[in-house]
Amino acid sequence: MKRKFADLHLLLNTKDGSTAQRVLTKAASLGYGLVSVPSSPETSETEIISLRKICNDLKMDFASRVDIAPRTRGHLMHLLRKLRRRFEVVCVVCKNKEVARQAAKDRRVDLLSFPSVDHRDRFFDWAEAELASSSLAVLEVEAKPLLLLEGSARIRLLATLRREVSIAKEYHVPVIVSSGVETEILLRKPREIAALVSLLSLDEVSALDMVSTNPHEIIVRNREKLSRGFVAPGIRVVREGGDC
C-alpha cells in the first residue's frame, strides 16, 4: 500500500497567511499528504480554519495541533482540561523533569517534545519511556537541528537521539519525526527525512514509519475520540432516540 507522508510540525506564524501559503504549497509539492501547524492556546479558531482551507485547496489533510509548555504538573493538568477537546494533537514541550514525567503517563497527551539540543535538558530516559509505554504518548524528534547543526554539536545530538530512540523502541513507545521548520527552503522530501533519521540506527521501514504510519495513527485515533458518537475505544453511538 502506498504510504501517505506526514509532517506534524510546520512551525508557521498562523497570522502570516502569505508565508503559510508558500510553505504549505512547497510541502504539498514534496509529497506530504498530512500536515499540522502548532498553535498556542491563544490561537483563534479563524486562523486554524484559514490554514485548513489552504491545505484543502492543496489536496492535503490538515490536523489541528496545540503546543503547551507548562511550568509545573498542576499547570499541565489545567491546560489539558482546557484544551484537549479543542485540538486533534496535543504536544507537551517538556522543559523540566516534573512536567515530562506527568506528560508521559497522561493519556490525554499525544506528543512528548524535548526541543533542547543539550542532553542535560532532555528528560526522555528509561523511567520516562516506561511511563509512556502505558499511555498513548509518542516521542517526537525534530529534523531541523539535524539539518542546521554542524561538527561536534551535531554529533552530540545524534548520539543523544540515538539513545532516546533506542530506549523508545525497547519500551514500544512510538516515535515520529517532524521537520520543525518555518521556511520552505528548509523543507525536505519525506524520504530524505527518513534517510536522515536512519542515522539513528534505524532500518528503512522503521524510518519511513516515523514520517508516515506513526503520525497517521495519532490523527486517526484522535479523530475517532473527538467524533460525536465516540463513547470508548470500539464503542460508538450509532443512533439516538426514544425508540432505540
pLDDT tens, the chain, 244 aa long: 689 999 999 999 888 889 999 999 999 999 999 999 999 888 899 999 999 999 999 999 999 999 999 999 999 999 999 999 999 999 999 999 999 999 999 999 999 999 999 888 899 999 999 999 999 999 999 999 999 999 999 999 999 999 999 999 999 999 999 999 999 999 999 999 999 999 999 999 999 999 999 999 999 999 999 976 544 455 555 566 665 5
Structure confidence at residue 231 (pLDDT): 42
Structure confidence at residue 119 (pLDDT): 86
Structure confidence at residue 15 (pLDDT): 87
Distance between alpha carbon 241 and the CA centroid of its chain, in Å?
38
Decide: pTM greater than 0.85.
yes
The pairs formed by 144-153 with CB atoms below 8 angstroms and a separation of 24 or more are 144/179, 144/180, 144/181, 144/186, 145/117, 145/180, 146/196, 146/197, 146/199, 147/181, 147/186, 147/188, 147/196, 148/186, 149/117, 153/117
Q: Which domains are assigned to the chain? A: 5-236 (3.20.20.140)
d(CA 225, CA 176): 20
For the sheet containing 5-7, what is the strand order?
5-7, 32-39, 61-68, 89-93, 111-113, 138-142, 175-178
For residue 84, CA distances in Å to 17, 66, 138, 141 come to 26, 9, 16, 22
